[in-house]
Amino acid sequence: MQTDSVTTARWIALLLPLALIGGALGSQFIGHLVPCEMCMWQRWPHYAAILVAALAFIVPDRRLTIALVAVAGLLIGFSGFIGGFHAGVEYHWWPGITACTAPIDHSLSGMDMIDAIRRGPLVRCDLAQWTLFGVSLAGFNAIISSIGALTIFALLLRGRRA
């Protein structure tokens, strides 16, 4: 059975963010890595891409399917962009736009704030908690999401020409 490139793009648009979110949640709940604020930012486009790509499986119109897959591809690419920015912050290529610290409750006394910091994890965005071959999780998200998004669009263009 031959599948067309739009079908392949649709499957990638669904399975890629599912796999990346699965890896992120696995590293958090199994690997006990605590995500920073920018790590969480990278997840939101993937959650949205999963929903949009799932919709692409149930709409009957081919043009709407292609549009939904394209939107999912954009969301995946956007997560890759955020991941690339985050990786740059981790490698100290540029400063981050957030302090990535625990929120400050100004109603607390100084000692209460210190106790709150001691109780909860303080995770910085500019320090990679885990790397493989010098590439952080944000870096892997940037690479995988960017390649995935480009692949989706290449497949959609091929399907459009067919």
Domain formed by 5-97+127-157, architecture: Up-down Bundle (1.20)
Average pLDDT rounded to a whole number, residues 42-57:
97
pTM, to two decimals: 0.83
Structure tokens at 112: 């209460």
Distance CA(60)–CA(9), nearest Å, equals 16
Q: Which percentage of the chain shows pLDDT scores above 70?
A: 86
Please state the domain extents for the chain.
5-97+127-157
Distance CA(52)–CA(54), nearest Å, equals 5
| Other beta carbons less than 10 A from residue 108's beta carbon | 12
Name the band, by pLDDT with cuts 50, 70 and 90, for residue 122. Answer: low
Name the band, by pLDDT with cuts 50, 70 and 90, for residue 80. Answer: very high
Closest to 10 in 3D by CA, of 50, 45, 46: 50
Distance CA(25)–CA(47), nearest Å, equals 12
